[in-house]
A and B are shown apart, each in its own frame.
Chain A
Amino acid sequence: MTERSSLFSLSRRRLLITTSVAAAAGAIATATGFNPALAADTPRDGGDITFLIDSLGDTWIPNNSAISSFQGHIWGHVTDKLLYVDADGKVSPWLAERWEQNDQATEFTLYLKNGVTFSDGSPLDASAVVANLDIWYAGRKNEGINPIGLFPKTYDHAEAIDASTVKVHFKKPTLGFIPTLGYHGSILISPKSIAQPASQQADLSKTSGSGPYVVDSWKEGDFVKLVKRKDYKWGPAAVGHTGPAFLDSITYKLVSEPSLRVASVQSNQADIAYNASPQELKSLKDEGFTIATPRYLGFVNGWAVNTKLAPYDDVKVRQALQAGINRQEIIDTVYTPDWKLATSFIQSNVPGATDQSGLLAYDPQKAEKLLDEAGWAKGADGIRTKDGKQLSLTIHSNPYLATSKSVDELIAQQLGKIGWKVTIRAYDVVTFGEKVRFGGAAVPAYEVTRSFIDAGTVASILTNANNGENWFALDDRDATLNGLRDRIAGAASFDERNPLLDELQHYVLEQGYFIPRTQIVQRIYVQSPTLRGEVYNGVAYASYYTAHIVD
């Protein structure tokens, strides 16, 4: 800190800011009889902050952008949700004050808070909620408005019982519906905005939500400036504040160069830099900056193994892969202690996640023994062969995760020691999608980074049931997995479902279908020490609704 201040002590601009802030503070103190004793307890009103982000995504059509890692930040301030899901996946009331469900988990009744309005003046009532549920489920595809992919496909219809009561019907048991309402795409938009054609919806300033901030101005690919809504009084109780936000404005500014984002915060030109490199974090922390590395609810970072491709059709080879990776070394070498060891294939903060660490322990002897048993013998060059073929693994580094390639390189070394020949390929986003993500029949392991709403949906993603993604290319070959999937989907209560989820996690890891690397931190925040009180939700987005500036 001392070094930093001396470096910039000559800055005229900084001096000016300091004096003007002091003058403004003085003015407030005299005008309102400001009591310094209260200052510690009551966050100060006012202040403008700048958030530097690496992209502002593709489109602002709410359905198409609400699940984006970039627009999610803005939607989180401009819109509200029916329920609140915190960083531990705990669901609590928000605009839905309470809810009921039938025994089969096929019908849900939501009771809405009264007096909530969208920023265009229209009320947030039952019919507005029905309009939102309908478009989340169906979209308007011919116009290019997508359905929200995470929304339950089992949705049948919703009806407004009265102005503040909504009843939602499903074709099959849908335990995940309630958590879905607090997540990602489920942002409430004014019915007037929903009725607009896609080209109008794509104009951020023409979309109204009921959130604590409204869009003041924006420019595509440049910035979005949000200003506080003074009549806001329906924040989620879970964050400990329900009135208007404290900060006057939040400006999201696009700066694509990572070092510039961090340097701007260091030189006091901005308040938050998003997505800094993990290597910089320690020194930034030492300089006094707040570093946040919240985890989101979802899958850990790891590989989904293609069980159709030899030699990964052999369970012993997959198990050797599971045991041959030293996960602690990944954290020690590539990351910082802020990153956590994977304990399952889903993140440990997901409700229903269980600790399967025993299956993920680093055990090179065990791995070598498994490979010996599978008939892969070590040659003179240290590479194992069987029937004249080398034991090879081609990894495609995930272009969405900056650190992916460094982790790949480390794993290549680790596996190399037990006789694997590992090749690393790095593609750009478009090529990666084309060759690995959507058509990769020859890809032995696809690197996953995904968040999800509810652990119950996991089982059907892993298999091919109901348009499922069939991650391990098992099709219908694994009766155990399919059985678990059906029982999880049909479960009507969490008490019934949780043991099944535990069984699923154990089975998938024990079979070596999924090879976890680390728990994923996809959002890294470097924040000025004068900004305090922000909250991270279940998708690891920072909300500055509760944040304030300290002097």
Chain B
Amino acid sequence: MNNAYLTYAAKRLGQAVVVILLAYVFTFVVVSILPGDPITSVLRNPQNGFSEQEIAEIIAAQGLDKPIVVQLWNALSGFLTGDLGISMRSGRPVVTLIAEVLPSTLILASAGLAVALVLAMVVAYGTRFVPKRYGQGLLRGFPSLFLSVPNFVIGLVLIHVFGFQIGLFRVINPDSFWATLFAAIALGIPVSAQIAEVLIANLDREAEQEYAAVARSRGIGPARLFATHLLKPASLPVVTVVALTIGELLGGSLITETVFGRTGVGSLVQRSVSTQDLPVLQAVVSLGAVVFVLVNLIADLLYPLLDPRVKLLGGSKRRPTTTDEASIGTTKVATP
């Protein structure tokens, strides 16, 4: 068992490293073949009044006249040694730019995840305890509703009601407690949908298991049944969904940050895309890949430890998303 687990862990780790490297190369290629050349589009701005020779000199000074393969090699070796280069747009080191925005996004994303988990729990718990005639069906519809309302709409409504009308927070101070809380709610609502969906499906399934029927026949109340018998087995697949949700959180933070006037990784990406700031984009996308891969790696490594029924199939087959195949279709995976 121990040996098998180590082999499994090593294979998964190897896979993770390959995925990160591939993500790096892929981003480089995609950004490089995009139409438009960021440097020359700035230099050719008539207001700068550069001659063609001056433009050529500047491009050469930045090493952008070299073949794309050489540029990729230089970027990749820099990446592996922790040197992420200089932002084309701002002229500042990419590491500094990322260090400035990362804390805000980490806070928002973890608060968003916490909101999503609490919401999902409340909805799932509700579906077990709210009787059918008092709106259980309505509760079961919540995940689809949460998923279908775009998070910028939620954000704008929250800002107008709680920010402008009630005055709980100010757009000028988006890192304050209330502003962060409402941003986390806007971000967490769509994310909670997937978690709630899986949780509800698993609770339903567990409730029909023999052990639950036995427990009920012994006169255990629904609350105790939920807490002591159903919740743990039903929660295991949630670990997987949460890991997959990281992508959703990172993607959603871009929109949430824009709406709430927060400056984080999302707004950095947005500015870098609009100016084709290759070194920054490269670094941020790679960072996203690293986070995504790491979180999933942790989930993969934890899963066999949490649930001995999971077979260690090496890296060849992913862990089950949920033991109930039918509910897989309801989870949505977003790319970072």
Contact of B36 among A14, A198, A430 (CB under 8 A): A430
Assess whether A429 is in contact with B92, with CB atoms less than 8 Å apart.
no
- Chain A residues lying within 8 Å of B92, measured Cβ to Cβ, are 59, 199, 202-203, 220
Top 7 A-B pairs, shortest CB-CB distance: A222-B263, A202-B91, A149-B49, A13-B167, A149-B48, A267-B164, A11-B167
Assess whether A270 is in contact with B172, with CB atoms less than 8 Å apart.
yes
Residue B171 interfacial (CB < 8 Å): yes
Residue A336 interfacial (CB < 8 Å): no
Given the interface contacts A141-B57, A150-B47, does A58 sit within 8 Å of B35 by beta carbon?
no
Q: Give the interface centre of A11, A14, A201, A266 by most chain B CB atoms within 10 Å.
A: A11
Assess whether A255 is in contact with B49, with CB atoms less than 8 Å apart.
no
Looking across the interface, which residue of chain B has its beta carbon closest to that of A197? B91
User: How far does the alpha carbon of A74 sit from the alpha carbon of B163 in the complex, in Å?
Assistant: 27
Residue A153 interfacial (CB < 8 Å): yes
Encoded as 1 (CB less than 8 Å from any A CB) or 0, chain B from 109 to 137 comes to 00000000000000000000000000000
User: How far does the alpha carbon of A41 sit from the alpha carbon of B171 in the complex, in Å?
Assistant: 34
Which residues A205-228 have CB closer than 8 A to chain B?
A: 219-223
Given the interface contacts A61-B91, A221-B263, A264-B172, does A146 sit within 8 Å of B46 by beta carbon?
no
Encoded as 1 (CB less than 8 Å from any A CB) or 0, chain B from 158 to 169 comes to 011001111110
- Chain B residues lying within 8 Å of A431, measured Cβ to Cβ, are 35-36
Assess whether A144 is in contact with B58, with CB atoms less than 8 Å apart.
yes
Assess whether B91 is in contact with A199, with CB atoms less than 8 Å apart.
yes
Assess whether B261 is in contact with A253, with CB atoms less than 8 Å apart.
yes
Encoded as 1 (CB less than 8 Å from any A CB) or 0, chain B from 34 to 69 comes to 011000110111111111001001100110000000
- Chain A residues lying within 8 Å of B166, measured Cβ to Cβ, are 11
Assess whether A269 is in contact with B57, with CB atoms less than 8 Å apart.
no
Assess whether A269 is in contact with B170, with CB atoms less than 8 Å apart.
yes
Assess whether A59 is in contact with B91, with CB atoms less than 8 Å apart.
yes
Encoded as 1 (CB less than 8 Å from any B CB) or 0, chain A from 135 to 154 comes to 00000011110110110010
Residue A256 interfacial (CB < 8 Å): yes
- Chain A residues lying within 8 Å of B62, measured Cβ to Cβ, are 144
- Chain B residues lying within 8 Å of A202, measured Cβ to Cβ, are 90-92
- Chain B residues lying within 8 Å of A469, measured Cβ to Cβ, are 46
User: How far does the alpha carbon of A12 sit from the alpha carbon of B162 in the complex, in Å?
Assistant: 12
Residue A254 interfacial (CB < 8 Å): yes
- Chain B residues lying within 8 Å of A29, measured Cβ to Cβ, are none
Residue A75 interfacial (CB < 8 Å): no
Residue A330 interfacial (CB < 8 Å): no
User: How far does the alpha carbon of A257 sit from the alpha carbon of B91 in the complex, in Å?
Assistant: 26
Looking across the interface, which residue of chain B has its beta carbon closest to that of A266? B164
- Chain B residues lying within 8 Å of A437, measured Cβ to Cβ, are 44, 46
B98 to chain A, nearest CB (A): 11
B158 to chain A, nearest CB (A): 12
Contact of B47 among A253, A428, A450 (CB under 8 A): A450
Residue B251 interfacial (CB < 8 Å): no
Assess whether A429 is in contact with B274, with CB atoms less than 8 Å apart.
yes
- Chain B residues lying within 8 Å of A58, measured Cβ to Cβ, are 89-90, 275
User: How far does the alpha carbon of A450 sit from the alpha carbon of B160 in the complex, in Å?
Assistant: 36
Encoded as 1 (CB less than 8 Å from any B CB) or 0, chain A from 270 to 282 comes to 1000000000000
Known: A220-B92, A434-B35. 11 other contacts (CB 8 A): A7-B165, A58-B275, A60-B90, A67-B47, A142-B57, A144-B62, A219-B100, A220-B263, A430-B274, A433-B44, A434-B36
User: How far does the alpha carbon of A149 sit from the alpha carbon of B46 in the complex, in Å?
Assistant: 8
Residue B271 interfacial (CB < 8 Å): yes
Given the interface contacts A433-B36, A434-B41, does A467 sit within 8 Å of B91 by beta carbon?
no
8 A-B residue contacts at CB 8 Å? A8-B167, A11-B166, A141-B61, A142-B61, A257-B261, A263-B164, A431-B36, A433-B44
User: How far does the alpha carbon of A434 sit from the alpha carbon of B43 in the complex, in Å?
Assistant: 12
User: How far does the alpha carbon of A438 sit from the alpha carbon of B92 in the complex, in Å?
Assistant: 27
Residue A52 interfacial (CB < 8 Å): yes
User: How far does the alpha carbon of A24 sit from the alpha carbon of B41 in the complex, in Å?
Assistant: 52
- Chain A residues lying within 8 Å of B274, measured Cβ to Cβ, are 428-430
Residue A310 interfacial (CB < 8 Å): no
Q: Give the interface centre of B51, B57, B58, B97 by most chain A CB atoms within 10 Å.
A: B58
Assess whether B164 is in contact with A144, with CB atoms less than 8 Å apart.
no
Residue A79 interfacial (CB < 8 Å): no
- Chain B residues lying within 8 Å of A450, measured Cβ to Cβ, are 46-47
Which residues A443-464 have CB closer than 8 A to chain B?
A: 450, 461
Contact of B167 among A14, A64, A221, A223 (CB under 8 A): A14
Residue A50 interfacial (CB < 8 Å): yes
User: How far does the alpha carbon of A8 sit from the alpha carbon of B166 in the complex, in Å?
Assistant: 8
Assess whether A149 is in contact with B50, with CB atoms less than 8 Å apart.
yes
Assess whether B91 is in contact with A201, with CB atoms less than 8 Å apart.
yes
- Chain A residues lying within 8 Å of B49, measured Cβ to Cβ, are 147, 149-150, 153, 467
- Chain B residues lying within 8 Å of A11, measured Cβ to Cβ, are 165-167
Given the interface contacts A12-B167, A153-B49, does A430 sit within 8 Å of B276 by beta carbon?
yes
Assess whether B89 is in contact with A59, with CB atoms less than 8 Å apart.
yes
- Chain B residues lying within 8 Å of A255, measured Cβ to Cβ, are 171, 261
User: How far does the alpha carbon of A189 sit from the alpha carbon of B211 in the complex, in Å?
Assistant: 78
Residue A309 interfacial (CB < 8 Å): no
Which residues A68-122 have CB closer than 8 A to chain B?
A: none
Given the interface contacts A144-B58, A220-B263, does A260 sit within 8 Å of B159 by beta carbon?
yes
- Chain B residues lying within 8 Å of A430, measured Cβ to Cβ, are 35-36, 41, 274, 276
Q: Give the interface centre of B58, B156, B160, B164 by most chain A CB atoms within 10 Å.
A: B164
- Chain B residues lying within 8 Å of A60, measured Cβ to Cβ, are 90-91
Assess whether A144 is in contact with B172, with CB atoms less than 8 Å apart.
no
A502 to chain B, nearest CB (A): 25
Which residues B98-112 have CB closer than 8 A to chain A?
A: 100-101
- Chain B residues lying within 8 Å of A203, measured Cβ to Cβ, are 92
Residue B304 interfacial (CB < 8 Å): no
User: How far does the alpha carbon of A165 sit from the alpha carbon of B167 in the complex, in Å?
Assistant: 55
User: How far does the alpha carbon of A264 sit from the alpha carbon of B163 in the complex, in Å?
Assistant: 9
User: How far does the alpha carbon of A222 sit from the alpha carbon of B105 in the complex, in Å?
Assistant: 13
Residue A190 interfacial (CB < 8 Å): no
Residue A251 interfacial (CB < 8 Å): yes
Assess whether B258 is in contact with A149, with CB atoms less than 8 Å apart.
no
B151 to chain A, nearest CB (A): 14
B125 to chain A, nearest CB (A): 34
Looking across the interface, which residue of chain A has its beta carbon closest to that of B92? A202
User: How far does the alpha carbon of A414 sit from the alpha carbon of B16 in the complex, in Å?
Assistant: 61
Assess whether B93 is in contact with A199, with CB atoms less than 8 Å apart.
yes
A472 to chain B, nearest CB (A): 14
Q: Give the interface centre of B101, B170, B171, B267 by most chain A CB atoms within 10 Å.
A: B171
Assess whether A256 is in contact with B275, with CB atoms less than 8 Å apart.
no
User: How far does the alpha carbon of A450 sit from the alpha carbon of B57 in the complex, in Å?
Assistant: 26
User: How far does the alpha carbon of A539 sit from the alpha carbon of B274 in the complex, in Å?
Assistant: 25
Contact of B61 among A67, A144, A201 (CB under 8 A): A144
- Chain B residues lying within 8 Å of A264, measured Cβ to Cβ, are 164, 170-172
B311 to chain A, nearest CB (A): 48
- Chain A residues lying within 8 Å of B301, measured Cβ to Cβ, are none
User: How far does the alpha carbon of A142 sit from the alpha carbon of B54 in the complex, in Å?
Assistant: 10
Residue B86 interfacial (CB < 8 Å): yes
A274 to chain B, nearest CB (A): 14
- Chain A residues lying within 8 Å of B275, measured Cβ to Cβ, are 58
A461 to chain B, nearest CB (A): 8
User: How far does the alpha carbon of A58 sit from the alpha carbon of B268 in the complex, in Å?
Assistant: 11
Assess whether A141 is in contact with B86, with CB atoms less than 8 Å apart.
no
A48 to chain B, nearest CB (A): 10
Contact of A438 among B35, B44, B101, B171 (CB under 8 A): B44
Residue B25 interfacial (CB < 8 Å): no
- Chain A residues lying within 8 Å of B35, measured Cβ to Cβ, are 430-431, 434
- Chain A residues lying within 8 Å of B168, measured Cβ to Cβ, are 13
- Chain A residues lying within 8 Å of B46, measured Cβ to Cβ, are 149, 437, 450, 461, 469
Assess whether A253 is in contact with B171, with CB atoms less than 8 Å apart.
yes
Which residues A464-493 have CB closer than 8 A to chain B?
A: 467, 469
- Chain B residues lying within 8 Å of A428, measured Cβ to Cβ, are 274
